[in-house]
Structure 1
Amino acid sequence: MPEEPRENISGGEDGSAAAVFEAGTAGTRAEAVVDELGGLYWQKTYGGKDAFESLVRTILSQNTSDVASQPAHDALMERYGADGEVDEASASGVDLAAALADAEQSELAETISSAGLYNQKSAMIVGAAERVCEEYGGADGFDAFVRGEDPGEVREALLDIHGVGPKTADCVLLFAGGRDGVFPVDTHVHRIARRMGLAPADADHEAVRERLEADVPGEKCGFGHTAMIQFGREYCTARKPACLDGPEACPLYDLCDRVGVDEVGESVVDPAEAAIR
């Protein structure tokens, strides 16, 4: 079974553990899809990442590829993390939230420039850091809140931070909080769920999330998210899904409605566009 790629910034090497789920009859087609993805890629549980660093990671990944956001994250941690340019007296116990709350925004923007939209993202990160320090006393307090409080309360608090949308909040809940039943929806998941018919063709990101979280057992939602992203990169791409090369080219062909895909004409449109034709 392939290893989860490091550039999958939502998941990655740390904060996850291999898991094995008993084979059985899936209760829904969405669960059947996730089971197939688990056999194709990986079955894992998530949790244990630092909550504030997860928040920063996901802000950096907004509107850009993981390949571009990973170097920005690494540069940020090198400059502001435990090994970065902090006072020698506190270097061993640096609080990333405190360091970023005090950061010069122009300097931070330069540091994360590879992620794109760096002026906006640097302002979001500084603002989030200030909020975390004010309300939770720093990164440790924020981490305890994310891991220990009611998931609905945590999600609401995260969404109240400027620059944090549903996908960002859900990634923090999943990869830091280790919460079952959280299925973050990025562009890959949004496209695939609607193309396969797992959600209505015109569903927005929140409607897709609600449908997947209702139809996929909680313990399978985490690897369903990361494996579906990988499937979107390798097979179910936006412009040329593998099914255009024939049924044998896609391992999930028999589970897919192919909404918006014209196999005969070899053309593809967004599922929402196909639904109004």
Structure 2
Amino acid sequence: MSEDPEPARNISGGAAGGGSAAEFDPETAGTRAEAVVDRLGELYWTKTYGGRDALECLVRTVLSQNTSDKASQPAHDALMERYAPGGEADEEDDGGDLAAALAEADQSTLAETIRPAGLYNQKSETLIALSKRVLEEYGSAAAFDEFVREADPETVRETLMDMSGVGPKTADCVLLFAGGREGVFPVDTHVHRIARRLGVAPADADHEGVRAALERAVPEAKCGFGHTAMIQFGREYCRARKPACLDDPEACPMADLCDQVGVDLESGSVVDPADRASDDARS
């Protein structure tokens, strides 16, 4: 049973929230990291991404910070119901702009709306500031969306990371889910843990180090799916404190591809891969 189940409705990309199907051939993997992604493709529906409104994607990712999808999705849904064009805050129902609605939102009301996501006061302030900047620099949510989809990816990433409350993972999620950019492998806590535990990224790599290692080793077309599938794999098998291999080494579908860095099957202990690497260096 998953520790952190996905929402009933997948909202991670594409016009209907699910992306479009993609096909991977495990026999052609050129690196172990690519083989890992191909194996994930045998477990989960492979998909490509893009098509999501950029500002909504940015809002969704900010809401997901430091919490689970199970908690952040209700906050996202409530925010969109109130502030999206045609929502409760759009009194004239005239096809208004999400950026304008959030920029003009009462902070306490917005905070209460997104309460399920946690850190709601901080996140509401961030969302208002982000929306004001979008309006100031692009004029509308639609124009911001065009920038995310059509500008140079590195320029988009740098611009997003210059915004308050936006870090590398948030910027990469916007590039992937809204921009549909290939070659982007966002790194959250699951991906950071699993890539190092598997041994496809250095044990002591930070989030950016893991991203760089994966984007070098995984073909561009497979990076987006690799991100979402690795998260699901982390929820179902490679959990932080109790990976499936502790109960049965053969229970994990990645057993033959995994270095089990930080996992001691004999003692049942689990440590961060970086701690295991430090211990090995001292011995």
Q: What TM-score do the two structures reach when normalised by structure 1?
A: 0.95
Partner of 2:132: 130
Partner of 2:84: 81
Q: 1:161, 1:234 → 2: CA distance?
A: 33
CA RMSD of superposed structures (Å): 1.5
Deviation for aligned residue 1:23? 4.6
SS at match of 1:42: coil
What CA deviation, in whole Å up to 9, does each residue of 1:75-125 have, x standing for no partner? 101111123223444x24121011000001111001001000001100100
> Which structure 1 segments of 5+ residues have no match?
none
SS at match of 1:93: coil
SS at match of 1:24: helix
- Which residue identity lines up with residue 33 of structure 1 in the other structure? V
* Structure 1 residue corresponding to 2:211, chosen from 209, 212, 215: 209
* Structure 2 residue corresponding to 1:107, chosen from 102, 106, 109: 109
Partner of 1:247: 249
Indicate if the aligned counterparts of 2:13 and 2:52 stay in contact, CA closer than 8 A: no
Indicate if the aligned counterparts of 1:9 and 1:57 stay in contact, CA closer than 8 A: no
SS at match of 2:169: helix
Deviation for aligned residue 1:7? 5.8
- Which residue identity lines up with residue 132 of structure 2 in the other structure? E
5 Å-filtered alignment, 1:131-210, equals: 131-210=133-212
Q: 2:262, 2:25 → 1: CA distance?
A: 34
Deviation for aligned residue 1:15? 5.6
Q: 2:90, 2:247 → 1: CA distance?
A: 58
Task: Flag the 1:119–1:5 CA change in 2: closer, same or farther, 3 A.
Answer: closer
Task: Flag the 1:141–1:64 CA change in 2: closer, same or farther, 3 A.
Answer: same
Partner of 1:262: 264
> Which structure 2 segments of 5+ residues have no match?
1-5
- Which residue identity lines up with residue 167 of structure 2 in the other structure? G
Indicate if the aligned counterparts of 1:97 and 1:138 stay in contact, CA closer than 8 A: yes
Indicate if the aligned counterparts of 2:86 and 2:95 stay in contact, CA closer than 8 A: no
SS at match of 1:14: coil
Q: What TM-score do the two structures reach when normalised by structure 2?
A: 0.93
Q: Which runs of 4+ in 1 moved over 2 A?
A: 4-13, 21-25, 85-89
Task: Flag the 1:201–1:172 CA change in 2: closer, same or farther, 3 A.
Answer: same
Deviation for aligned residue 1:56? 0.1
Alignment size in residue pairs: 273
